A and B are shown apart, each in its own frame.
Chain A
Amino acid sequence: MQLDQFESRFKRAAKALFAYAPIPFTKVLLVSDQEGADADAELARAKAFLGPLGAAEGVSWTVVTGESYHTSHELVARVSQEQPDLLIAQRSLKESDKDPIYSLGTYLDVLTQVAPVPVLVLPQGGLPSDLSQVMVVTDHMTGDSRLINYGVALLGAGGKLFLTHVEDEGTFERYMSVIAKLPSLDTETARRDIRAQLLKEPLEFMQSVDAALREHGVSHLEVEPIVRLGRSVRDYRELVEAHQVDVLVFNTKDSMQLAMHGMAYSLAVELKRVPLLLL
């Protein structure tokens, strides 16, 4: 018992810290379902929205027009051939229904799972006037610095980076209801300590972001951690609206290919009016 107590104390003292690593964008690929001038106009809108990245020198921009692919296999082959650092595509690519229920569209569904690069999904209709507020959903794994580094890479001077973690209340309550039936565990202590630890870990990780960015001379943006217990999709929708988020960043790929079967897919298909960077 005492052994376990000390092991827990040391495990708790071993923090996950954010590691800053700049994201080098050298090649961006816009996948369009338009042709000619319409495709060029789409590229111009995307570059304008991306602000500093859109205007950066040394970044090559390529457009894959709608005629150059007719199946998802062809599109994946083209992406593999181009090997971009970032893929940009509009929601409901090449779909007749531009406002489908609960789907990103056939092509994007494939790209988000197969393409080995981040995919920036732009909403149908207008884009935000500028990109100044980015929200990163760090739910999948505390300690995933890559997500945050992408969020940082999108923001220019004066930008605001929201780091969010919503611990699922339903799952928490389910475990608490089991603990409440176990005489060997004190229910109140378990509820208090587990809740505190669940929220403490992501908050500490987020708090390490500001220090790491300053250490590397990245001081042009503001970082705001948001950690709470709640209903994931509902709470994220509220947070996105409340903070007028311009881009939402989250993971959709993992080694088990499960990310898009959980909360990520719900977020991706429900938040139709917000640009999404899917990693």
Chain B
Amino acid sequence: MLFLAEAAHAAEHAPPGWVTAVFGALLVCMIVALALEEKLHAKKSVITGVAALVTLLVAQALGVLPGGPPTLGGHELHLPIYVAAIDWEVIAIILGASLFVDVTSKSGIFTWIAVKLTKLSRGDPRRLLWFYGALTVVFSAFLNNVTAMIIVGSLTAVSLNRLQLQDKLLGFLFVEGLMTNVGGLLTLISSVPNIIVGNAAGISFGKFFLVASPYVLLATLASIFLGEKLFRIKPLRDDAARREAAAQVAAFDENDGIRSRGFFNFAAAAFVVFILALALQSQLPLVGGEHGLGMGFVALAFAAIMLLRYKHEVHTFYSAVDWDLLAFFSSLFVVIYVMEHAAVLSTMGQALAWLLDRGENLGIGLLLWAAAGLSSVTDNIPLAAMLAKILPKGRELTADSMEWWAVIFGANLGGNLTPIGSASTVVAVTIMAKQGVPLSFLRFVRLALPFAVLQLVLATGYVLLVKVLFG
């Protein structure tokens, strides 16, 4: 909220070049530290938290920050700058959605769906790959990428071990890891870059789904097909093997994790209503529109409704919330706020302008590939947050501008280039190691390259096609 109100201030009081250079260096340090998160043995929230503290202190010392209290609707707010700088709508969506999904998963509905699909495959490896690949996309779209990878990946390990297909584990887990980032493109709440960029662009949930879904379908089919060929996953040939495999998966009991049939049905219905509420949020009274309570309220309200089921043990769900992620976002918003006032973002915007000035179509294509390249080596969340701020500078962008989509596609798909490109691919590699099929960084890149190139080429063509057809 503070960014828009103070954009004019930032433009009027541009700091000297050396100040911008100092803050630019601090930003680079933070990004490098995030890329080396594992080496530093430090959580993301600690890295961005330290960065927020340092940048705030330096900014205060150099007089970069605007003076006076922040205002809302003409009224002064008694909020410190490091609180007001946070985009609380994004935090509310993430907190509400993760609590809602966590409580819903206690009903056993997600494991029920996953086991049911396993049984439908009758244990045939090729059918199983297609089912698990599609399931990963759907779960990534409506849960989050990490949870989707954990559910489908752990089921993959159990079912392939049971079917004695351990030699196929690498191929399955690899394809699933990559499909999380494809599924993460399907809806506005599927991934954090979507929430950040979608919010900045003013793209509604419904519109996001309509634009993204054809690409997600195409990329899913192409990627699983490629995985089937590259990892040589073939159907069972003889009747005896088919019978044996069918018997093995038939022994899975999809109802085992269901403690209460009533809560299971309630959770299934609540999940459908939750998705519908998000899709129709902009049209809903009180929550939709410019002054409505917003999508974050919808997410928190549904989380509260689900928590009523466990009203005596809500603390277990609170402790399961990813506080590292929330603290990471909060700190990141503070850092970006400071960078905005230190003119770092406008300087980066000039570089971006150079990219976009290469031509209307070429510029968008370059932006998509640049976003993908950057998100493959560093966290795609700060990248998306910064690009979402930089992109509108000096440009008249609307919710229909394809530049937003270039950032969304690039930031999500870039995660498929390296094992550190996204949290869900990190989970995939962790499961592989746990199952005795470790994958080195270079081997991951070598295996991922054809998938990533295929998905990025398709994305570039798709974004430009949408631009031509509807632009």
Interface residues of A (CB under 8 A from B): 2-3, 6-7, 9-17, 19
Contact = CB atoms under 8 A, between A and B. Distances in A.
B59 to A, nearest CB: 38
Contacts of A7: 154, 157-158
Nearest to A15: B251
Q: Classify the secondary structure of B's interface with A.
A: helix
Nearest to B147: A2
Interface of B: 111, 114-115, 147, 150-151, 153-155, 157-159, 162, 247, 250-254, 256-257, 427, 430-431, 434
Given A7-B158, A10-B115, 4 more contacts: A10-B252, A12-B257, A13-B257, A17-B247
B137 to A, nearest CB: 18
A14 B162 contact: yes
Contacts of A17: 247, 250-251
B436 to A, nearest CB: 14
B251 A10 contact: no
A15 B253 contact: yes
A13 B253 contact: yes
Given A3-B150, A3-B153, A6-B150, A12 B251 contact: no
Given A3-B427, A6-B155, A7-B157, A12 B256 contact: yes
A13 B256 contact: yes
A6 B111 contact: yes
A16 B111 contact: no
B251 A14 contact: yes
A6 B251 contact: no
Contacts of A15: 251-253, 256
Contacts of B251: 14-17
B157 A13 contact: no
Contact of B111 (A2, A3, A10, A19): A10
A208 to B, nearest CB: 8
A14 B150 contact: no
Contact of A14 (B158, B427, B431, B434): B158
Given A13-B254, A13-B256, A3 B115 contact: no
B256 A6 contact: no
20 contacts: A3-B150, A3-B427, A3-B430, A3-B431, A6-B111, A7-B154, A9-B111, A9-B154, A10-B115, A10-B159, A10-B252, A12-B256, A12-B257, A14-B158, A14-B162, A14-B251, A15-B256, A16-B251, A17-B247, A19-B247
A15 B251 CA distance: 5
Contacts, number: 53
A84 to B, nearest CB: 29
Contacts of B431: 3
Contacts of A3: 150, 153-154, 427, 430-431, 434
Nearest to A7: B154
Contacts of A9: 111, 154, 256-257
A181 B427 CA distance: 32
Given A3-B431, A6-B155, A7-B158, A13 B115 contact: yes
A19 B147 CA distance: 35
A167 B466 CA distance: 65
A11 B160 CA distance: 12
B257 A2 contact: no
A276 B158 CA distance: 37
A2 B150 CA distance: 7
Contacts of B159: 10, 14
A13 B153 CA distance: 15
A194 to B, nearest CB: 17
A3 B155 CA distance: 10
A16 B431 CA distance: 24
Contact of A13 (B147, B247, B252, B430): B252
B253 A10 contact: no
A17 B256 CA distance: 14
A14 B114 CA distance: 12
Contacts of B254: 13
Contacts of B114: 10
A10 B132 CA distance: 14
Nearest to B249: A14
A252 B250 CA distance: 31
Nearest to B153: A3
B27 to A, nearest CB: 32
Contacts of B147: 2
Contacts of A11: 158
A205 to B, nearest CB: 10
B111 A13 contact: yes
B268 to A, nearest CB: 17
Contact of B154 (A6, A16, A19): A6
A31 B254 CA distance: 50
Contacts of B252: 10, 13-15
Nearest to A204: B253
Contact of A10 (B155, B250, B430, B434): B155
A163 B407 CA distance: 63
B139 to A, nearest CB: 11
Contacts of B158: 7, 10-11, 14
Nearest to B115: A13
Contacts of B434: 3
A96 B154 CA distance: 61
A168 B31 CA distance: 56
Contacts of A12: 256-257
Residue picked from B111, B115, B154, B254, most chain A C-beta under 10 Å: B154
B262 to A, nearest CB: 20
B142 to A, nearest CB: 16
A16 B162 CA distance: 10
A16 B250 CA distance: 10
Contacts of B153: 3
Contacts of B250: 17
A10 B251 CA distance: 12
A2 B424 CA distance: 13
A93 to B, nearest CB: 42
B329 to A, nearest CB: 20
B430 to A, nearest CB: 7
Nearest to A208: B251
Closest 3 CB pairs of A and B: A7-B154, A10-B158, A6-B154
A11 B150 CA distance: 14
B251 to A, nearest CB: 5
B444 to A, nearest CB: 19
Contacts of B427: 3
A11 to B, nearest CB: 5
